[in-house]
Structures are given as structure tokens and as C-alpha cells.
Structure 1
Amino acid sequence: MPDIHIKREHTLGLAQARELAFKWAQTAEAKLDMDCSYEEGKTSDVVSFKRSGVNGELRVTPDRFELDARLGFLLGAFKDRIVAEIEKNLDQLLSQDNPVQAFDQAVAQASAKKKKSGGRPA
């Protein structure tokens, strides 16, 4: 089974990283039909996620996001594309002055595009 491992350093601190990860979990549940659980710790958090074809964890620390996911057979065929999209979005988000606000704006734009296209991906 293919595995995805993505690690990105950041300078957000735990509070802002936690807020961003929590918003990601909420969006993953709403938009990707993921089951997410969020476990807060003193020095780090873990977001566990799963749905048909994928499961994994996002570890959140004051200076790093680390995502590990296991893909099922069907999604495994798209591993390279999935990794590239996750990395592109994460790098773009972390390059912003206010990543939490940038995430909210990206979600709103994606929702507007989806509504404009009649619910089909743009």
C-alpha cells in the first residue's frame, strides 16, 4: 500500500498551527467526507483522518506539520498527483503572512467556484 509522508517546517507557533490544523480537519470532514478526530496535547497535536481509500495522521508541533497517509489500491494509482497537490497547497499556504486567513479565503474561493460550476469541480 503506497504511503505519503510530507513534512513542512513553519514559524507559526503551536497556537496558530493548531488553529490552521483544526480548520483543515473541519474542511476535510465537510468537503472530502473524512472522519477526523483532533487530539490536543501540551506540546503537539494529532489529527487522525480516514475515509474509504485513505487514512492517516497529521502531527502538529510549534514548528512543523507532518502528514502520514496510507492510500488504498485505487487512490494509490494517483499517489504522485495527490502528493504534488498537497505539497503545492501547503507550501503556498505557509508562504502567506497570515496562513489561517489565507486558508479561509482559499476555502471560500473553492466553494464559490464549485457553486458557479453547478457543483462540478472547476
Structure 2
Amino acid sequence: MADISIVQEHCLTPNKAREAAQKVADKIAAEYGLECAWQGDVLHFERSGVHGSLAVEAQQVEMNIRLGFLMSAFAPAIEAKVTEKMKAVFGAA
């Protein structure tokens, strides 16, 4: 098992931050075949071997991903790609 935690600061309004979170989710869902659903300000996602969440807060977003045994071998590549996508969508604060 591998855990990935990424925090990205932002200067967006709550609505814009949620829209940006949905963009990240759409990209990741398409690339990794994830199912996504919102619960309040937290976007939950999962598929076999992967589950996690993207929490939208006032000045930052936090993504937590738990990878199963087989997917844990790809943790460094997944973390790098997700970090890059989050920086591109949310920008530096």
C-alpha cells in the first residue's frame, strides 16, 4: 500500500476552486478510469486498487490517494503527474 498526499495553495473563489477541482478530477478520471462523486466540498474517487479524495478549502486543496499493492509500484509517477496537473489547474498562490 502507498499513500500520496498533495497540498496545493490557491487564490480562487470557492466556486472557481470547485470548478478547478472538477477539472483535475475529470483529467485524472479519464487517465486512470476513476469514478468520482462530490460530498460537500470533498470530491471522492475510486477504482480497483485506488481510492482517495480532493478536499477544497478556502486557500488550498488537499488530495489524498491510497494505492493498493499492485498500483503502489507506480506511486512516484502518479504523484508527479497529479502534482503537475494540480499546479497547472490551481496555479501558485
Q: TM-score, normalised by structure 2?
A: 0.84
Partner of 1:22: 22
Bigger Rg over Cα: 1
* Greater fraction of residues in helix: 1
Q: CA RMSD in A?
A: 1.8
Percent identity (aligned): 38
Partner of 2:56: 60
Alignment of 1:38-117 (within 5 A): 38-40=38-40, 45-95=41-91
Report 1 or 2 for greater relative contact order, CA contacts < 8 Å, sequence distance ≥ 6: 2
Shift of 1:52: 1.1
* Greater fraction of residues in strand: 2
Q: Give the gaps of 5 or more residues in structure 2.
A: none
1:42-92 deviation per Cα after TM superposition (whole angstroms, max 9, x unaligned): xxx000000011001110112111001100111101111111111122223
Contact 1:48–1:57 (Cα < 8 Å) also in 2? yes
CA distance in 1, matches of 2:4, 2:19: 23
Q: Give the gaps of 5 or more residues in structure 1.
A: 97-122
How many residues are paired up? 92
1:12-70 deviation per Cα after TM superposition (whole angstroms, max 9, x unaligned): 12110011112333444444321111122xxxx00000001100111011211100110
